[in-house]
Amino acid sequence: MTDMTEVTTTTGLDELWPLLRRRTQARIGLGRSGPALPTRHRLGLQAAHAAARDAVHSPFDPDRVTAGLAGLPTVRVRSAAGDRLTYLQRPDLGRRLDPVDRAHLPAGSWDVVFVVADGLSSRAVHAHAAAVVRATAARLPAWRVAPVILAEQARVALGDDIAHTMSTALVVVLIGERPGMSAADSLGAYLTYRPVPGVTTDADRNCLSNIRPPRGLDYETAAAKLAGLMGRARELGRTGVELKDESDHAEVLNRIL
């Protein structure tokens, strides 16, 4: 790698920072105007903050997700958090199913249930969730896939309640991640084997984060990783810290060697 001093000497700082900023979404080398940020960067920061707030408060549109699922059957449920303010103030209620909606969950013998949950960014769910479900389900031709559950005012652990109620071995929760100042549309996928509400912890889950092409993980890569983890979870009878994603090991070793 070229020494940073040499790069600075040959190109100058004014030319270097734009090159580096094109490689990352981090706010680096913004400079200053007196004691403050330059106006254009301050406005950019305010715009990013507004986008993050909008992502958190924008309503979930299940019809939009259903339209992208290409005919896959769906069931709509809500958590015990009756509105957005309650959801934000009471995370515990977002982990429990509404009692009325619990009775609407279908009975059957399923290998996996996909839960599409609004989480903290409906924008992420609207943009990416349906494509990830389709790409993953296409890699599971022999699996019994339950109807896709569309969950409103939902936390990750709501999937535990859903899978336990439906007697489903595996649950995949696709959920809008907490928006940051560089990404308001990041989708996370959480895989859990035989969860038990109130007992299963985050250590019992596997997570793929930052699904958001072209800046993050693309749909096919996410689906390949997720399907691979699901197959191993079924073989081993576990998920979480005891289940590792080894899909990139050969590539990493090739780079090292």
DSSP string, 167-209: T-SEEEEEEEPPP-SS-S--EEEEEEES--TTT--GGGEEEEE
pLDDT given at position 73: 96
CA nearest 150: which of 169, 180, 126?
126
Other CB atoms within 10 A of residue 221 CB? 16
Average confidence score pLDDT of the chain: 88
Give the CA count within 13 Å in the CB-facing half-sphere of 173: 27
Q: For residues 95 and 246, what is the distance between their CA atoms, to the nearest angstrom?
A: 30
Angle at 193 between CA 103 and CA 106, to 5 degrees: 20
Half-sphere exposure of 87 (CA within 13 A, CB side): 24
Question: For position 248, what pLDDT does the model report?
Answer: 65
What is residue 137's predicted lDDT score, i.e. its pLDDT? 97
What is the predicted pLDDT for the residue at 253?
A: 40
pLDDT of residue 210: 94
Q: Output the pLDDT for position 3.
A: 46
Kindly give the parts of the chain with pLDDT less than 70: 1-13, 248-257
Query: Which phi and psi angles does 190 have, rounded to 5°?
Result: -115, 125
- Model pLDDT, residue 1: 44
Residue with tokens 């859990």: 192
pLDDT digits (tens, 9 = 90+) for 86-123: 999 999 999 999 999 999 999 889 999 999 999 999 99
In the sheet with 170-176, reading across from the earlier edge strand, the strands are 74-78, 148-152, 112-117, 170-176, 187-193, 205-211
Q: What is the pLDDT of residue 251?
A: 54
The number of residues in the chain equals 257
